[in-house]
Amino acid sequence: MHNECGAFGMSNANKLATLQHELEQLRKENAHLRTELDNLRKKQSPTSLNTLTQFQDLLRSLPVLFFVCDPQCRCLLWNEACHELLGWTEEELKSHPKPLTLLYPDIMDYQAVQMRLEQAERRFYRCLVRSQSGAYRLQKWAYCRLPDGNILGIGYDIAEMDRPATDIVAADLEETRVQLLQQLIGDITHDLKTPLSIINTKVFLLEREPDASRRQIHATAIIEQVRRLTELIDNMMEMVRLDSQTNLKLERCNVHTLLLEIDEGLRNMAEEKRVGINLELNADNPYVRADPKELHRAFMNLIRNAISYTPENGSITVRTRSVNAHLVIMVEDTGIGISEDDIPHIFTRFFRADTARSSYTGGSGLGLSIVKRIIDMHHGEIDVQSAVGIGTTFTIKLASVYRHANAAD
């Protein structure tokens, strides 16, 4: 193995440098072309739009492996070199709601690649990619985030592997795990530091304050920070549990029943903030095959999040509708909104949009990560649209099942 790596090292050093240079050039060209496209669309120039189409065709014909995906990791472009080597066509990946699961069926590989896509570091990583035939190929990929939030990937092939787990990628996988752990420790330290600092200050003042009413103010502040710490720890434990969970207790589940239960459970919280919750449950078929406890937790987190970020006298509307063979659930609020720059990152663990949004609630930064993890486990889709000062709409799509289907089907 060491001899193979040594022989490979020098012969591909120049190739690696060349590909890194090409990646940077393509990123710049894409940004420039997007600006031109915006201008050209305003001018409605057929000739110029033809030029853009030709450029996209050029990308598809590049001899290196090349793809573009959106922030939700849905395929936008998959070039011919990828198709020839791995077998998957661009149409197949575009039509699949979770194309990464085709390429990385192992859960650890899938999570590692997701993390690298989120970080979009311009560094080549070794990974095992499954071809359409079921064979695994050892490849190197690097990613960068484009100005529109989409992710560009460029890579090259090393060799076909006989089995999905090999020593040659063990070091890279271990490095990814270490990075995840380091990031987790850093995020936890940051999130614990603020409430602990406030508690420490309030305890100091409480011990020295003679006035009973002011002592009560300090005591109330301490209780609130303890609540924040408890929520943070509970959410971290929940995230760990979901990461380690491989099997769901699936059964036929009425989503309307879950939403009515959640509405009842969150009614007091909404009334305290003077936020109205409206249910418009219009789906013809509200049944899905799901783990009801996990799905309940996802919807609860999502609606609680909407309440937290909606100012007094605002409103939240929960809608359902049936679209083809899917149940669509929309949670729309009139809250403070999310900036366009922050939207691609809102499902990232411990991420809390801009300063105004994070200080508005002091949340744990894990609520939406938990929601997305649960929806992903159910092979569903979640999307978000938002405008600062107007509000946010989360849309979830789950596969429907027949009303009278057996739970074991």
Write the pLDDT tens digit of every residue in 271-285: 989 999 999 999 999
pLDDT exceeds 80 at position 254: yes
Q: What is the pLDDT of residues 206-251, one digit of tens each?
A: 888 888 888 888 888 888 778 777 777 777 777 767 766 667 888 9
- Predicted confidence (pLDDT) at residue 325 exceeds the cutoff of 50: yes
CA distances from 299 to 155, 295, 306, 313, 389 (A): 38, 6, 11, 22, 23
- Residues 402 and 287 sit within 8 Å (Cβ to Cβ): yes
What CA–CA distance (Å, rounded) separates 133 from 103? 11
Are 376 and 263 contacting, i.e. CB atoms less than 8 angstroms apart?
A: no
- Per-residue pLDDT band at 182 (split at 50, 70, 90): low
Structure confidence by residue, pLDDT tens digits, 355-372:
444 444 455 567 888 899
Helix axes 292-308, 367-377, angle to 10 degrees: 150
Residue ranges per domain, the chain?
2-165, 248-409
Which tens digits make up the pLDDT trace of 84-119? 888 989 898 988 877 888 888 776 677 777 777 776
Q: Which two tokens stand for residue 95?
A: 């039509």
Question: What mean pLDDT, rounded, does the chain reach?
Answer: 76
Tell me the CB-side half-sphere exposure of residue 209, using CA atoms within 13 A.
15
Residue of higher predicted confidence among 29 and 202: 202
Q: Structure tokens of 188?
A: 């936890």
Can you give the pTM of this predicted structure? 0.55
Q: Which CATH class is domain 2-165?
A: alpha beta
Lowest mean pLDDT among 148-162, 184-198, 393-407: 184-198
Domain 248-409 has CATH 3.40.50.261: no
Task: Evaluate whether 80 touches 60 at the Cβ level (below 8 Å).
Answer: yes
- Is it the case that residue 165 has pLDDT exceeding 50? no
Q: Do 319 and 289 contact (CB within 8 A), yes or no?
A: no
DSSP characters for 174-238? HHHHHHHHHHHHHHHHHHHHHHHHHHHHHHHHHHH---HHHHHHHHHHHHHHHHHHHHHHHHHHH
